[in-house]
Chain A
């Protein structure tokens, strides 16, 4: 299994541009989520999904949209990038249910908004 993959690894945007961060997992996990990590801080939850067609907001959802059309993919969209969205973005997935507590993280996307 490839696990959780994210593309691109690095991205530079200008203020106002839009883009989509891709996340995919091949473990048939029901639960997927997006976090952002700013320098010197822990991860903060942006959006999450408990299955295809179901999404919900996390701690810092403003400025981001998500959709979950398949079990495998969970893209994160920035509609109009702002410098405050400069961060490292991590996607994660896990099985749903009490016996599957390990959350798997992708390698991250490093985004700079100028």
Chain B
């Protein structure tokens, strides 16, 4: 699984949208982009994933550029509980790589009152 690049840290005001960027310029055609987050001292939590189309679920939206070299995770209305480390991960589709996740340093998102 190739490496992704994320900013080390970001700040966001409570109630505003948090936009977390991720560069994955060497992503291959069969690799998905996954987002997980880790709230302090807890296990990572799955947020969302996508291949080439934009995706939305109850937690967030994922916007993937047309060339698939970068993506943005959007938390539409950030709350203090969204303060966490956010990991952007590339991996092959579910069955072929047996679910192995390669975690980088991630982005520390701090949501301020």
* A→B interface (CB under 8 Å): 4, 31, 33, 35, 40-45, 48, 50, 58-59, 90, 92, 94, 96-108
Contact = CB atoms under 8 A, between A and B. Distances in A.
B90 to A, nearest CB: 13
Nearest to B92: A98
Interface residues of B, number: 23
A101 B62 CA distance: 16
B99 to A, nearest CB: 5
A102 B46 contact: yes
A81 B70 CA distance: 41
A43 B98 contact: no
Contact of B98 (A4, A31, A35, A44): A31
Given A58-B100, A101-B32, A43 B44 contact: yes
A43 B99 contact: no
Nearest to A42: B103
Given A103-B44, A108-B42, 11 more contacts: A42-B87, A42-B106, A44-B103, A50-B98, A96-B94, A97-B94, A97-B95, A98-B93, A104-B46, A105-B44, A107-B42
Interface of B: 32, 34, 36, 41-46, 49, 87, 93-95, 98-106
A84 B112 CA distance: 36
A103 B46 contact: yes
17 contacts: A31-B98, A35-B103, A40-B105, A48-B98, A48-B100, A90-B43, A94-B99, A98-B93, A101-B34, A101-B46, A103-B46, A104-B46, A105-B45, A107-B42, A107-B43, A108-B42, A108-B43
A36 to B, nearest CB: 11
Contact of B43 (A58, A94, A99, A106): A106
A91 B98 CA distance: 15
Contacts of B98: 31, 48, 50, 96
B49, B95, B99, B105, most chain A CB atoms within 10 A: B99
